[in-house]
Amino acid sequence: MYTQGFGEVLTDIMTANIAFADIPTASAILDASNYTFQAVTFGKDAAGYTRHAHVVSSTNYINGDSASGASAYDNGRLLVVNYGSDVANGASSYVVTSTYLQYSSTYNSVPNDPSPLDRRLERGSTSATHLSNYQYASAIVDLGHYANPAIDAQLSAIWNKVGGFGPSSNSDYYFMDNTSSFAFSGQVSSFFNANSLMDKYGYLTVSPLSGLGAALSSLGNPTSGSAFSEGALVFSSTDLNPGVGISNLAVRLKDGDAASLALFGGLHHIGVWCLDLKQMLRDGLTPPFSWDALNNTRKYRLVSKVTFWDNLLTHEDNGTDAGIEMLANPTASDFTFGGPVFLLKFNFT
């Protein structure tokens, strides 16, 4: 679904003054890269940003067991309680619907339906109000999608409660059943952050690579090698789409990024963003607009949004292996190529 922002970008393209081409300091405004897809974000229901792994437990945990003396906000660990799990019968993964059912009287878990007027993924507030006593709580921005506080100097200490992407190095998570008994633990690390592909506001950059259509076909190897090593991919291919006027955007949630989003409540929205060129020019920023994950000055405009009733990260246990562990495992049989890949097609014909 296209939003109003898409029409605004097309208007910017058609009204750009071609005379800029003769002005050395302004010619870069006409560069085609200023008007293409530049970022992807991920989201879910607004109320979910204070549920799931976002919740601050009333019990402090050390090494998976309740004990006194642990620091606030679950001692920096990613702690998840599954209200529908039963560890006595073997591995049990985090089932998002169990949280829905546990709090069905107070939890509106339905994501916003998409509207062409949307400027963000969720229209309701996605602020982390449960962390209001934190020293830097004012730094938590209401974005409408998942943030990436693990690389924010002020918020990295509570990334495990803000969500939804882990640090670049391994971080512990603890899984509890509905009686708060320890079930299993593991580690997550963000592929996006390890490769500096996402800024602190959750904008995943788009790869400059091109000509990958054939490699991303069902006959190829869509997630092997370095295809996604520089971000989401935009491509067109007659191998995939006979004819003209069709562009594709592919994004992979690899290993720890898939697991952490599943623990924080899943994935219902994918947003596609272009640069807000006029806003950046008003702010005194001039092209070329370089990408820097730690200090990203780019401004974005939502141009397309897809919304799903079902959680795109729904998973199942596999024998004695919990599904959440397989999401975080790059060699798991279900994800031979490193994680789920989502392909969005744009037909301009």
The pLDDT tens digits for 245-280 are 778 888 888 878 998 999 999 999 999 999 999 898
What H or E segment, with its residue span, contains residue 62?
strand 61-62
- Predicted confidence (pLDDT) per residue in 112-162, tens digit: 888 999 999 999 999 888 888 888 888 899 999 999 999 999 999 999 999
Structural domains counted in the chain: 1
pLDDT at res. 133: 83
Contact residues for 154 (Cβ-Cβ < 8 A; gap 6+):
136, 139
Q: Is 138 exposed, middle or buried (0-12, 13-18, 19+ CB in 10 A)?
A: exposed
What pLDDT is recorded for position 180? 67
Quick: pLDDT tens for 299-324. Answer: 999 999 999 988 998 877 776 667 77
Q: In which domain, by residue range, is 210 found?
A: 4-347
Q: Look at residue 315 in the predicted model and tell me its pLDDT.
A: 78
Q: How many residues does the chain have?
A: 349
At 112 the three-state DSSP class reads coil
Q: What residue ranges in 158-239 does DSSP mark as E strands? A: 171-176, 182-188, 204-205, 233-235
Of the two residues 52 and 181, the one the predictor is more confident about is: 52
For residues 287 and 161, what is the distance between their CA atoms, to the nearest angstrom?
Answer: 36
pLDDT tens, 49-61? Answer: 999 999 887 766 5
pTM of the model: 0.89
Strand partners, 37: 274
Distance from C-alpha of 229 to C-alpha of 10, rounded to nearest angstrom: 29
Tell me how far apart the terminal alpha carbons of the chain are, to the nearest angstrom: 15
Look-up of token digits 């998570």: 173
pLDDT of residue 216: 55
Predicted confidence (pLDDT) at residue 62 exceeds the cutoff of 60: no
